Structure 1
Amino acid sequence: MTTAQTAVSASTTADRLLDGLASSIADRGYRETTVADVVRQARTSKRTFYEQFASKEACLIELLRRNNADLIASINATVDADADWQAQIRQAVGAYVDHIGARPAITLCWIREAPALGAVARPLHRRVMRDLTDMLVALTSSDGFRRAGLDPIAPSIALILLGGLRELTALFVEDGRDIHGIAEPAVTAATALLGPH
C-alpha cells in the first residue's frame, strides 16, 4: 500500500469512527456513549479506534471541530456578499438553523458537554469561537453591508451575539422544540446589533 493509500484508509477509518460517535451521541448522549458503542456503530474494533484516537474525548473533539468547520463553510457558501445586508443576515441564520437541524445532538454536545471536558476541550472552544467571530467580521465587511454604510461588527460584539445564539440553540434542542423557532429571534438580534445605530 502506498503512503497516499494508507492516508486515505486512515482518513476513511477516522470518518467511520466519527460517524459512529455521532450516531451514538444521537441515540444515547455523549456521557452514556462508550468506545464499545462507537466501534459497534462504526463496525470496527477497539484496537482500530485507539489507532486513530487516544480517547473518547479526543474523538469527540475532532467530531466537534469538523462539525463547526462544516457549519462555517455552509454559512459562507450560502450568504451572497452582494445581497442587501438584511438578506445576508437571513441567509446566514437560515444556514445556521439548517445545519443545527441536521445534527441537533452534536450541537448540544458542543454547547453543553464539551465545556465539561475542561482543559482538554478549551483550545477547541477558543478556536471555534474565534473562527465564528472571524466569519461574522468577514461577512459584515461585504459589499452589501458597505453599501448600507455599515461598519464590520467588532469582534467583542460578535462574541456576544454568538454566545446568545448558542444558549438559545441549546434551550430549543434540550426542550425538543422545532429549531426553526430560533430563526426570527436570531434575525432580530443580529439586525439590531449589526444595523444602523
Structure 2
Amino acid sequence: MNSVTGTDFRQRLLDALEECIAEVGYPKTTVADIVRRAKTSRRTFYEHFESRDACFIALLTEANADQVSQIAAAVDPEAPWRTQVRQAIEAWIASGESRAALTLSWIRDVPSLGTAARALQREAMENFIAMVHTLGDTGEFRAAGIGPVSRQRIIMLLGGLRELVAITLEEGGRMPDIADEAVEASIALLTPAAQTH
C-alpha cells in the first residue's frame, strides 16, 4: 500500500498550479482549480500554503532554484570564456522556454503580488548574482583579464537579459530567437575595457 507524504502533496499542488498557469494564466486560477487538478482537498492545500499567492511564490522559488542549477551544470569551466557565456545563455533560454508559461507569468503576474513579490524578486536576483559570480570565477575568465565580475555589472547583465525576455515573450516571440543577441551583449558587457578598443 502506497502512502502519500506531505512532500508529495505539496509537489502535486505546485505541479497543479503550474499546469493551471499554462492553461488559463495565474490571475484566472483559483485554489479550487489547483486542488481539483492535484486531486486533493482545500484542507490539504491550506496545510501547505496559506494562500494561492504563497503557493505561487513557492512554485517560483523552486523554479528559480532549478533554473540556476541547470545553468550552472551546463557550463564547462574549462571551455574558452566566450563559449562558457554561450553555454550559460543557451541553458538559461532552454530552461525558460521549457516553462514558457511560468516564465511569462513571472514577468506579468509577480509585480502584482506586492511586498511578498519583492522578497521573491530579491532572492531570485541574489541567486543569479551568486551563480554568475561563481561561473565568472574560473581560470578561463581570469586568463582573459575578466573578474571578479562586479555585483553592479552582474545586476546590469541580468536586468537587461530579463527585460529582453519580457519584451520578446510579451510580443509573442520565442526565447531562442534572442540567443545570439543575448550572447553578444553578455560578452560585450564582460569584456575588459582594454580589449574593446
TM bucket (normalised to shorter chain) is: over 0.9
1:135 to 109, 131, 137: 131
Distance 2:63 2:99 in 1: 9
- TM-score in terms of structure 2 length: 0.93
1-structure distance, mates of 2:34, 2:81? 43
* TM-score w.r.t. length of structure 1: 0.93
Q: Which residue of 1 aligns with 2:87?
A: 91
Q: Taking every aligned residue pair, what percent have the same amino acid on both sides?
A: 46
Q: How does 1:93-172 map to 2 (within 5 A)?
A: 93-172=89-168
Q: Which moved more, 1:71-80 or 1:178-187?
A: 178-187
**Gapped regions of structure 1 (runs ≥ 5):** none
Match of 1:19 among 7, 15, 39: 15
Q: Choose the corresponding residue for 1:33, options 24, 29, 35.
A: 29
CA RMSD, Structure 1 to Structure 2 (Å): 1.5
Amino acid at match of 1:27: E
Alignment: residue pair count = 192
Letter in 1 for 2:157: L
2: CA distance, partners of 1:75 / 1:194: 18
How far has the Cα of 1:149 moved from its partner? 2.1
* Runs of 4+ in structure 1 over 2 Å off: none
Q: Which of 150, 154, 177 does residue 181 from structure 1 map onto? A: 177
Instruction: List per-residue Cα deviations over 1:99-118 (Å, max 9, x = no partner).
Output: 01100111122222112101
Residue by residue over 1:49-101, the C-alpha shift from the partner in whole angstroms, topping out at 9 and shown as x without a partner, is 11110000000000000000001000110001111000000000010010011
Write the distance in 2 (CA, Å) between the matches of 1:37 and 1:173: 25
